[in-house]
A and B are shown apart, each in its own frame.
Chain A
Amino acid sequence: MATDVLSAAPSPGPVPAPAHAPGAGPGPAAAAKPRRRIRNRYLRGLMTPRGIIGLALVGVLLGAGLAAPLLTSHDPNFQSADALVGPGSAGHLYGTDEIGRDLLSRLLYSIRTDLMVVLIAVPLGLLIGGALALVAVTHRVADVAVQRLFDLLLSFPSLILGLTVTAIAGFGAGSIVTVIVLIEIPSFGRMLRGAILVHRDREYAVAARIGGAGPLRLLTRHVLPNAADPVVVQVAVAMSVAVILEGAMSFIGIGIRPPDASLGGMLSASRPYLEDHPFYALGPLVVITALVVGLNLIAEALNRGARR
């Protein structure tokens, strides 16, 4: 539910209206000169300042997470004698936490966990949601069932769903992945189902049917390429939603549990030291914000690219 509203926001709306040429006559075929070198419209969108900043933010953090073992020599769970030392002291580039663990390596390993969860969960949600949407648009009875399923999943606010799943399946990355998948299924599914239904009734799709296109060709060649835009944008949005949710679940203590490092967990642990050691909270705050902002910049860049 919650995610549905969030995702509804930056998406381009279901129908990219055909560019009607009003008023001033379209003129003799507005010159076919190649305007840009990049042919793919998504890539074209990404290669704008907005897209590049987004990609850079996410890319740097992803790289840092993947290269965590190379970037730091400290074990994220090793408790040294120096608790809550500031950045740079005692060989800890970014200080230590309340029980003397190296904050930098905990931060890097958190990113790693976070991105792993996101990169598994979002594609899975897309896959299942997309498959359900395809089933829904082909069978009338299945459509009713799938829609009720979506309604049901959407009637749980996202964190409430998080609590529910954790209550059943216990703590850990598995539960977080499940929650994200359950949230993304109706979000992707509804969006794709709606877009397919809209485009399937468009005149060009009717024309393709009369031209002899079978259901498969109609879907793959005519409907999906036109219906895909909002879904592509939604992938980036869904990832940012997933980052936020992973943080939230770990923050309230139902996601990744200590001693394993997580962004939300670190933030939660830093709460008592906000006044005296604000640098402790700063790390996870900056990382989460950068990831979320970066992913949303990518979404917006894709969206603009698609609308061209």
Chain B
Amino acid sequence: MTGYLLRRLPSALGVLLLASFAIFFILRAVPGDPVATLAGSDPSPETVAAIRADLGLDRPVLAQYGTWLADVLRGDLGRSYVIGGEVSELLSQRIGKSVELTIGALVFSLAIGLVLGVLGVTVKNRAGQAVLSAINAISLIVPAYVSGFLLVFLFAITWPVLPPGGHVSVLSDPQIGFQYLLMPALVMALPPAAIVARYVKDGLLQALGEDYTRTAKSLGIPHRRILWRHALPNALPPVLTVLGMLVGTLLGSAVIIEAVFAWPGLGTLAEQAVTRRDYPVIQAVLLFMVAVFVIVQLLTDLAYALIDPRVRLR
């Protein structure tokens, strides 16, 4: 197992390094020289040179990247130009809220997906199947801002039982916090839930059609036990892989969900930073999200290896 981790680690670090490099250069490629912004109008060449030296811009690009990376690893993400304050502080205020939303959405999507997927295998009649596939298709393709608007219209305006937007931490007040979390997390969870459902259903159908399921049946093992103990474990590894990828989808959709529901998380911060061109903040948010994504991928692969003994041998 440790050996497997050691084999997988380099490629994960590689992608991370590549991404950090890309993100660093994004800033360098930005139109509008930061020197020009800082030096004011019509500066003397000496002033420009001094500012450049001050910012380290006169050194080779790779060296600058090295310094930046070292700073990042120490937790120093620089200062925000526009929003103001240390970037690391800005980030830490928002991360908790985003994590809350993402975990909520992940739990919803897993739960809904598992239920829909297992139902997709156990429901035999045509009408039931049609309803299930309609639910799946709608959750998958309707964009979050459309479903968000509909839910707000239904449950916050027409029949006001939930707040239309805003945030109260679940940790500080579980009941109220959950009311605020319910709609955004649900909207965020719908497309991933449909994907999980599809993978669970396909995986189960495949496992149930395999020869080993026939063997289990021929041994008189009860159907329920075959489904849960023999087939489901075989159906899970692909679900796990897709779950890792779904974390990426969730990170992306957070931006739009937070906008629809006025949720003050990382997505809103990123949106503000981009509209106001606050580059250090953009850089930090990007780096954070890519890192989370890569780490989740790695964890997924490890979990996969834990379930399936054959993977470890590869």
Assess A/B contact in the complex (Cβ within 8 A).
yes
Does B141 touch A at the CB level, under 8 Å?
A: yes
Q: Which of A2, A8, A254 contacts B271 (CB 8 A)?
A: A254
Residue in chain A with minimal CB distance to B297: A155
Q: Which stretch of A34-42, A58-66, A84-92, A162-170 is in the interface?
A: A162-170
Contact A275/B149 with A9-B198, A248-B143, A292-B142 known, Cβ cut-off 8 Å: no
Contact A296/B137 with A1-B245, A2-B248, A254-B271 known, Cβ cut-off 8 Å: yes
Residues on the B chain within 8 Å of A56, using CB: none
CA–CA, A193 to B101, complex, Å? 36
Whether B141 lies near A240 (C-beta < 8 A) is yes
Mark out the residues of chain A between 167 and 186 whose CB falls within 8 Å of any chain B CB in the assembled complex.
167-168, 170
Whether B137 lies near A157 (C-beta < 8 A) is no
CA–CA, A235 to B48, complex, Å? 50
Q: Which of B18, B140, B249, B286 contacts A164 (CB 8 A)?
A: B286
Does A81 touch B at the CB level, under 8 Å?
A: no
Whether B198 lies near A159 (C-beta < 8 A) is no
Residue in chain A with minimal CB distance to B22: A152
**Minimal beta-carbon separation of B154 from chain A (angstroms):** 11
Whether A1 lies near B140 (C-beta < 8 A) is no
Mark out the residues of chain A between 268 and 308 whose CB falls within 8 Å of any chain B CB in the assembled complex.
268, 271, 274-275, 278, 281, 285, 288-289, 292-293, 296
Whether B293 lies near A168 (C-beta < 8 A) is no
Does B119 touch A at the CB level, under 8 Å?
A: no
Whether B252 lies near A4 (C-beta < 8 A) is no
**Minimal beta-carbon separation of B265 from chain A (angstroms):** 13
Whether A252 lies near B19 (C-beta < 8 A) is no
Does A205 touch B at the CB level, under 8 Å?
A: no
Residues on the A chain within 8 Å of B253, using CB: 2, 157, 159
Q: Which of B149, B192, B275, B289 contacts A253 (CB 8 A)?
A: B275
Does B146 touch A at the CB level, under 8 Å?
A: yes
Residues on the A chain within 8 Å of B22, using CB: 152
Whether B248 lies near A159 (C-beta < 8 A) is no
Whether A152 lies near B15 (C-beta < 8 A) is yes
Whether B153 lies near A252 (C-beta < 8 A) is no
Residues 6-49 of A, flagged 1 when their CB comes within 8 A of B and 0 if not, give 10110000000000000000000000000000000000000000
Does A158 touch B at the CB level, under 8 Å?
A: yes
Q: Which of A1, A166, A254, A267 contacts B252 (CB 8 A)?
A: A1
Residue in chain A with minimal CB distance to B266: A160
Mark out the residues of chain B between 142 and 191 whose CB falls within 8 Å of any chain A CB in the assembled complex.
142-146, 149-150, 152-153, 157, 191
Residues on the B chain within 8 Å of A251, using CB: 145, 256, 259-260
Does B135 touch A at the CB level, under 8 Å?
A: no
Residues on the B chain within 8 Å of A151, using CB: 15, 18
**Minimal beta-carbon separation of B124 from chain A (angstroms):** 22
Whether A5 lies near B242 (C-beta < 8 A) is yes
- Sorting the interface of chain B by its residue count into under 10, 10 to 19, 20 to 34 or 35 or more gives 35 or more
Residues on the A chain within 8 Å of B279, using CB: 167
Residues 240-275 of B, flagged 1 when their CB comes within 8 A of A and 0 if not, give 001001101111110110011000000100110111
Residue in chain A with minimal CB distance to B202: A13
Residues on the A chain within 8 Å of B144, using CB: 248
Does B38 touch A at the CB level, under 8 Å?
A: no
Residues on the B chain within 8 Å of A168, using CB: 26, 29-31
Whether B140 lies near A6 (C-beta < 8 A) is yes
Mark out the residues of chain B between 179 and 222 whose CB falls within 8 Å of any chain A CB in the assembled complex.
191-192, 194-195, 198
Q: Which of B146, B252, B271, B282 contacts A288 (CB 8 A)?
A: B146
Residue in chain A with minimal CB distance to B246: A5
Does A130 touch B at the CB level, under 8 Å?
A: no
CA–CA, A244 to B22, complex, Å? 26
Contact A264/B140 with A155-B294, A163-B270, A167-B277 known, Cβ cut-off 8 Å: no
Q: Which of B29, B191, B273 contacts A6 (CB 8 A)?
A: B191
Residues on the B chain within 8 Å of A1, using CB: 245, 248-249, 252, 293
Whether B252 lies near A160 (C-beta < 8 A) is yes
**Minimal beta-carbon separation of A172 from chain B (angstroms):** 13
Does B290 touch A at the CB level, under 8 Å?
A: yes
Q: Which 8 A-B pairs have the closest CB atoms?
A: A157-B252, A1-B248, A2-B249, A159-B252, A244-B143, A159-B255, A157-B251, A2-B252
Using a CB–CB cutoff of 8 Å, the interface residues on chain A facing chain B are 1-2, 4-6, 8-9, 148, 151-152, 154-160, 163-164, 166-168, 170, 240, 244, 247-248, 251-254, 264, 267-268, 271, 274-275, 278, 281, 285, 288-289, 292-293, 296
Using a CB–CB cutoff of 8 Å, the interface residues on chain B facing chain A are 14-15, 18-19, 22-23, 26, 29-31, 137, 140-146, 149-150, 152-153, 157, 191-192, 194-195, 198, 242, 245-246, 248-253, 255-256, 259-260, 267, 270-271, 273-275, 277, 279, 282, 285-286, 289-290, 293-294
8 A-B Cβ contacts within 8 A?
A: A251-B259, A251-B260, A254-B274, A271-B260, A281-B153, A285-B150, A289-B142, A292-B143
